[in-house]
Each structure stands twice: as C-alpha cells, then as structure tokens.
C-alpha cells in the first residue's frame, strides 16, 4: 500500500522522533547526494566533502530529535554542511580562486541567495525524475548513462537478452524526452543525449 | 530558512522538464531580471552539457563510504533504539538469491518468555558466561582465578600479582628500580564462556575473550622487546615504550605494536586471523608480507594473503561491551560467537541455507534459551537442544 506524500512524511518524522535508526537511513538516502554535491562545490575536495557530509548526519542524529518536518531537516543538513565547509575553508587559510569566489559570495549581504544550494536542489529534482522511471527502464538508463556499460554487459547484469535491453533503453529515452527535454532546447543537447544512450 | 532557494530550484527544474506554467515562467523571468548574479546563474543552465555532466557526478557519489562513516560515528553513542531494521537498499550488493536475514531484537527476555518457542522439554538451560581464567606458572602449576574476591598471588622469583574482585590479574608495575627480574613465563587462559583481564608488568592491558590463551614473560626487564604469544582472541591497550617494541606473536602472524589499541581474533575455527586497529598504529608481519595498519582498519590474514578492509568496530569489539553485535555478519560466524560464550555446539541441518546474514544485538547476560527464542522469532530457523548440542533446522 503506497502512502500518500503527507502520510509518508509523517511516518518518517515519527520514526525520527523515536530515534529509530531506519529514519537515519531514510534521511541519509534522501539527502546524501545533494549534500555531497554541495560540499564538493564549496571545498573542492572530494575526500574532505565526504567527511563533512558524514559529520552533518552524525550531528543530525546526535542532536535532539525535535524537527517537525522533512523540509526543516533538509535545511538543518544544508546549513550544518555549509557551516562546516566555511570552517574548513577558514582553517585552510589559503584558498583557491574558486573557493575564494564562493566564500565571498556567501559572506555578502543577507538577502543574497545561496546558488550552490539552488544548483544542488535542481539536480536532486532531476535525479528524482530518473528514479521515477519504471524499474527496468531506470536500471538500464543508469547502467548506460552513469556506469557507461554496453548493451551486452547490461543484458548479463539484469539477466535479460539484448533485445529487451534495447527496448528498455528506447522506452527510457522516450519517457525522459517528454520529461526532461524542453522544446526548443538546443538540438545539440538532444543529440548528445541520444548519442550517449545509443552507444552499442 | 532556505525556502527561497528551494522555490527557485523548483522553477528551474520545471523549466528544464518542460512542465512550467505561464505564471511560473513569468515569475522566473522576473527573478532573472532582478540582478546580474541571478541572470548569470540561470545562463549557466543554457550549457546543457555541463548540466548533464553535473547530473552524472551527482549520481556517482560514494554512498557506501559515507554511510559507513556515519554508522561508526553514531554507533559509539549510548543511545540505543528499540529495533534494528535495515532498509532494502542495503542489500543491493548481495548477489545470492537466497539471502535470509535473522533479526535479533532487543525486546527484554521477560517479554520473550510469552512469545518465544519453548526449547525441548527436559533440557537444562545454559547460563551465560562470566569472568574466569586459569593461570599457569612456568613450572606447570595451575591456579584457577574464579571467585570474585581480591587475592594477592606470590609467583616465581618474588614477583607479585593481584587478582582483583572483578576479573583482572594485575602484575605489579616494574617501573620501580627494586622490582625483581625474572626470566619465567606465565600463561593466562580462558575456557569457553570465560573472559578475563590482565595488566602486564609494563602497564599494558590485555582482555582475553573465551577460549583464549596468552603466554607472556613475568618480567620485561632486561629484554630488548616485549613479546607475548596469543591463541584465540584478545584486545590490547599497549603502554608506550619506544625503546622496547611490543610484539604479539601468533601461529601465522606477528603484530608489531607501534602505539596503542587493537583487537586480534585468531581462533582456529575462524577462517582467517583478523587484526583490528582502534587507535595508534601496528605493523603486521606474516611470512614474506607486511602491512601497516591505520586506525579503523582490519587486516584479514588467511595465511597466504593479507587483506585490509574498513573495520566494523562494533562487531569486532562487541565482546568487550557486554553485548553481542551482529553487523550483517555471516550467521555461522555469528553463531560461533554464541558457541564460545555459551560453550555449546551448533549442528546445522542440510536444509539450512549457508548464505544467511545476522543483524542486531543482544545482551551477553541472557541465558541461551532467551537468545535462541529471539532468533527463532526471525522465522528462519528453529532449534532443538540436546545437552550442549543445538541442532539448527530451517523453519
């Protein structure tokens, strides 16, 4: 039985309040990518970003479990992450040009927006779109596009034949075309996506 | 707090997805016109190649590595949760089709007496282990260290040791000049179901798990290195002394201690010797190979190879915490922990799948029947007890 959006949120918040570890796993699953992407943009160091992000989740779990909504948990994590990144950059003393630019951006006037957070969130929304593809399509799409596997490799991984793989690939393109590709987006985008997906 | 950011992100995503309404498009256009930063930011989305590249790196994050850091960071804390469930994605990497999961929940034994399946009638329950050990002197004389009274022991060559009231044998510290020297060796050994602590003459501490044996010199004075010999499992906290390196010798490997806290699991019935470093650094020497370990790493020595992995510290050191802890361990390895503590033997029916994994924790103070009843609740296996033999059947 699939819960409605509101029921599902209430379910996880209540588990979080009672300190149930499956809630930690759930929020981790939901947010680790956007936090990592965001931390990486700020500190420009993949290993450091991993430490910072895991630290955020640890602090989230060790604190009082008082947040009332999924969104406030997301904001807590982003802000905790941002502060940890800024501290790290401060400690670093010397900053690369990119870090410096970003750092300055943050320190500016209160009403300036955090563009890195916006960028993270856009990617998160797009990735959820991919996650919403039907199961086999999603698996095949990820294997082609992210793991860069070939058709025969994919057939073996999912336990299907190559004909089925091509079918799922075509279906994924079709669905993503309507979902993700804007009318009037440059032809080069559509073409490069097709080329990527149509690699043997 | 970040509502504006979330809102703008939603608009941009909708535009990319061709789902944006007329009103929303106007709102986004207005935002873009507000200042140069906004305009520049939105322009970056026109570079679709970089959006796709970003999306790709967004997906390829090392979830496992980060999750493990989170788990070890939160696991040390006192806060315990009522039940320990793992989400389905956690099992994605396990290839075997027949993977069952045994859960051992922390519902108190009292509650369990109502729900648990009864162990075969007429059998006597098995009590949990406790502290106890046997000290063997160099002349072969054995002293049992069982009761919980503090006693002073007079050993060879005027060396003194104190058996504490709570399961520790403490050799007097030989730092003082008038401490006697000796070339004798003592052996401290534990039987099944026993654990014991030891403080060596240099102040190093060793905790022995069940069915283990440590041979050590009664005095380190006059020796270049401090060498002890281990069979079974022990946790060490070695006192720093750069001039006199500390070595733990086993049948297939030697550990050179460069600084403090580690656990060695070298039971003969386990397939490999596992050495886990908590703090400090140690060098592992085995045949032609050597490996330097960093804190949090575990070396698995099968005799022919040494593999280094990230340690599941809670799983390794559960015997020190007074609770069994199974962190997706192969269930046979988990049951061997129970075998050593309760001094029983599990005999598996051929129908029982070898691929099961165990997860959860339970206090080591429970009687065996309570533990078995909890495991039966997982619905995977049932037990039949005959004295010290426990037959395991598929449920």
Helix axes A115-131, A135-145, angle to 10 degrees: 130
Q: Over 80: is that where the pLDDT of B180 sits?
A: no
* Whether residue B33 has pLDDT greater than 60: yes
Query: B-chain residues within 8 Å CB-CB of A57?
Result: 70, 73-74
Model confidence at A180: pLDDT above 60: no
- pLDDT above 80 for A115: yes
- For B198-231, what is each residue's pLDDT tens digit? 999 888 899 998 889 999 998 888 888 899 999 9
Residue B37 in contact with partner chain A when CB distance is under 8 A: yes
Q: Which residue of A has its CA nearest to B11?
A: A122
Q: Give the percent of chain A with pLDDT over 70.
A: 74
Q: How far is A140 from chain B (nearest CA, A)?
A: 14
H/E element, B135: strand B133-136
B293-302 residue pLDDT tens: 888 888 888 8
pLDDT band at B35 (very low <50, low <70, confident <90, very high): confident
Query: What are the two backbone dihedrals, phi and then psi, of residue B280, each rounded to the nearest 5 degrees?
Result: 95, -150
In A, residues 157-176, which contact B (CB 8 Å cutoff)? none
pLDDT of amino acid B86: 32
Q: Is the pLDDT of residue B10 over 80?
A: yes
Best residue in B61, B78, B328 to probe A by mutation, most A CBs within 10 Å?
Answer: B61
Among A86-90, A117-121, B90-94, B172-176, the range with the most confident prediction by mean pLDDT is A117-121
ipTM confidence score: 0.76
Query: Does A144 score more than 70 pLDDT?
Result: yes
Of A5 and A159, the structure prediction assigns the larger pLDDT to A159
Q: What is the pLDDT of residues B86-142, one digit of tens each?
A: 332 222 222 222 222 233 322 223 223 333 333 333 345 677 778 888 888 888 888
Indicate yes or no: CB of A123 within 8 angstroms of CB of B12.
no
Is residue B281 scored above 50 in pLDDT? yes
Which residue of A lies nearest to B65 if distances are taken between CA atoms? Answer: A50
pLDDT at A99 over 70: no
Instruction: Output the pLDDT for position B99.
Output: 21
- What residues 296-355 of chain B have any CB closer than 8 A to a CB of chain A? none
Q: Which two tokens stand for residue A153?
A: 């490799």
Note the pLDDT tens digit of each residue in A18-31. 888 888 988 998 99
Helices (H), chain A: 5-17, 21-43, 46-62, 70-92, 97-107, 115-131, 135-145, 151-158, 162-180, 187-197
Selected residues 42-81 of chain B with any CB under 8 Å from a CB in chain A: 45, 48-49, 52, 54-63, 65-67, 69-70, 73-74, 77, 79, 81
The yes-or-no verdict on residue B304 having pLDDT over 60 is yes
| pLDDT at position B266 | 86
- Asked whether B364 and B323 are in contact (CB, 8 A), the reply is yes
Q: What are phi and psi of B62, to 5 degrees?
A: -85, 80
Residue B154 contacts A where some CB pair is shorter than 8 Å: no
A109 has pLDDT over 90:
no
- Taking CB atoms and an 8 Å limit, are A146 and B13 in contact across chains? no
**Dihedral-angle region of residue B39 (phi above 0 means left; psi in -120 to 50 means alpha; beta otherwise):** alpha
Averaged over A169-173, what is the pLDDT? 76
Q: Cα dihedral angle (B151, B156, B158, B162), rounded to 10 degrees?
A: -20
Q: What is the mean pLDDT of chain B?
A: 77
Task: Verify whether the Cβ–Cβ distance A21 to B52 is below 8 Å.
Answer: no
Residue A69 touches partner B, C-beta closer than 8 Å: no
B positions 90-109 inside 8 Å of A (CB): 90
Inter-chain contact A28–B67, Cβ cutoff 8 Å? yes
pLDDT for res A96: 56
- As a whole number, the mean pLDDT across chain A is 77
**Mutate which of A12, A72, A122, A139 to test chain B, going by most B C-beta atoms within 10 A?**
A122
The average pLDDT across B284-298 equals 83
The answer to whether residue A18 neighbours chain B at the CB level (below 8 Å) is: yes
Give the pLDDT score at B121: 36
């Amino acid at each position: 039985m699939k819960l409605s959006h509101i029921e599902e949120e209430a379910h996880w918040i209540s588990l979080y309040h009672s300190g149930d570890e499956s809630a930690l796993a759930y929020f981790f699953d939901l947010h680790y990518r956007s936090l990592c992407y965001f931390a990486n943009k700020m500190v420009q160091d993949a290993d450091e970003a991993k430490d910072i992000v895991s630290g955020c989740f640890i602090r989230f779990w060790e604190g009082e479990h008082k947040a009332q909504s999924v969104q406030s948990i997301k904001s807590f994590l982003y802000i905790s992450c941002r502060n940890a990144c800024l501290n790290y950059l401060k400690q670093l003393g010397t900053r690369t040009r990119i870090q410096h630019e970003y750092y300055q951006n943050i320190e500016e006037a209160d009403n300036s927006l955090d563009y890195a957070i916006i960028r993270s969130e856009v990617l998160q929304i797009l990735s959820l779109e991919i996650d919403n593809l039907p199961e086999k399509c999603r698996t095949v799409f990820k294997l082609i596009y992210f793991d860069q596997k070939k058709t025969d490799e994919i057939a073996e991984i999912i336990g299907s034949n190559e004909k089925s793989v091509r079918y799922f690939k075509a279906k994924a393109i079709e669905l993503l075309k309507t979902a993700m590709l804007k009318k009037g987006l440059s032809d080069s985008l559509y073409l490069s996506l097709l080329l990527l997906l149509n690699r043997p | 707090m970040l509502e504006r950011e979330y809102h703008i992100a939603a608009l941009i995503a909708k535009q990319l997805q061709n789902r944006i309404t007329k009103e929303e498009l106007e709102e986004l256009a207005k935002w873009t016109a507000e200042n140069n930063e906004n305009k520049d930011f939105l322009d970056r989305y026109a570079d679709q190649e970089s959006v796709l590249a970003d999306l790709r790196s967004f997906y390829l994050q090392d979830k496992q590595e980060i999750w493990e850091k989170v788990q070890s960071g939160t696991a040390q804390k006192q806060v315990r949760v009522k039940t320990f469930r793992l989400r389905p994605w956690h099992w994605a990497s396990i290839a075997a089709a027949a993977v069952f999961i045994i859960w051992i929940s922390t519902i108190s034994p009292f509650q369990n007496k109502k729900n648990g399946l009864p162990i075969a009638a007429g059998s006597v329950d098995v009590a949990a282990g406790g502290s106890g050990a046997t000290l063997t002197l160099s002349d072969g004389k054995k002293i049992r260290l069982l009761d919980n009274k503090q006693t002073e022991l007079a050993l060879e060559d005027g060396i003194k040791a104190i058996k504490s009231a709570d399961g520790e044998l403490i050799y007097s510290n030989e730092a003082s000049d008038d401490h006697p020297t000796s070339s004798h060796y003592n052996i401290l050994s534990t039987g099944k179901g026993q654990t014991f602590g030891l403080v060596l003459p240099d102040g190093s501490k060793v905790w022995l798990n069940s069915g283990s044996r440590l041979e050590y010199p009664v005095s380190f004075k006059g020796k270049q290195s401090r060498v002890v010999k281990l069979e079974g499992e022990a946790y060490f906290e070695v006192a720093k002394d750069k001039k006199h390196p500390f070595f733990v010798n086993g049948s297939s490997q030697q550990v050179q201690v460069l600084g403090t806290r580690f656990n060695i699991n070298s039971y003969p019935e386990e397939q490999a010797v596992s050495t886990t470093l908590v703090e400090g650094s140690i060098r592992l020497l085995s045949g032609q190979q050597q490996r330097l370990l960093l804190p949090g790493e575990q070396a698995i020595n099968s005799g022919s190879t040494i593999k280094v992995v990230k340690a599941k510290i809670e799983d390794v050191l559960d015997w020190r915490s007074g609770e069994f802890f199974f962190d997706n361990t192969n269930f046979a390895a988990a049951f061997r922990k129970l075998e050593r503590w309760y001094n029983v033997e599990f005999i598996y029916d051929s129908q029982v799948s070898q691929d099961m994994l165990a997860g959860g924790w339970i206090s080591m103070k429970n009687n065996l029947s309570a533990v078995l009843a909890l495991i039966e609740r997982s619905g995977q296996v049932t037990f039949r007890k005959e004295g010290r033999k426990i037959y395991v059947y598929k449920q």
